[in-house]
Amino acid sequence: AQSVTQPDIHITVSEGASLELRCNYSYGATPYLFWYVQSPGQGLQLLLKYFSGDTLVQGIKGFEAEFKRSQSSFNLRKPSVHWSDAAEYFCAVDAEEYGNKLVFGAGTILRVKS
């Protein structure tokens, strides 16, 4: 069965520091990959997605993610974190054969210290 692992439950970074959130997936082929962000009391907002092509994808709010097939990873990065980035981040996989049924990771809570 498809699965998504986000190994870090919590991450704390200083404002202005760089950020990398890890995501590994388990699936035989190349799935569609997504990162969503959830601010407190809010819904899930799409940050970026990877379907095919260039393995480095750019998203909103200055985020990017790199798909590495050899590592089954899709890590999220941001070069300089802002206090407003504090939220929970979810990696998700769409195995396509299941018709847009996303499998989510457990999430990583990002805290930003000033």
Q: Which is nearer to other proteins, 51 or 83 (CB)?
A: 51
Q: Which is nearer to other proteins, 81 or 103 (CB)?
A: 103
Q: What are phi and psi of 20, to 5 degrees?
A: -140, 125
CB of 69 to other proteins, least distance (A): 20
Residues forming the site for other proteins (CB under 8 A): 32, 34, 36, 41-46, 49, 51, 90, 92, 94, 98-107
Gap between the Cα atoms of 96 and 113, Å rounded = 38
Query: Which residue, among 64, 106, 63, 113, has the nearest Cα to 86 in the 3D structure?
Result: 113
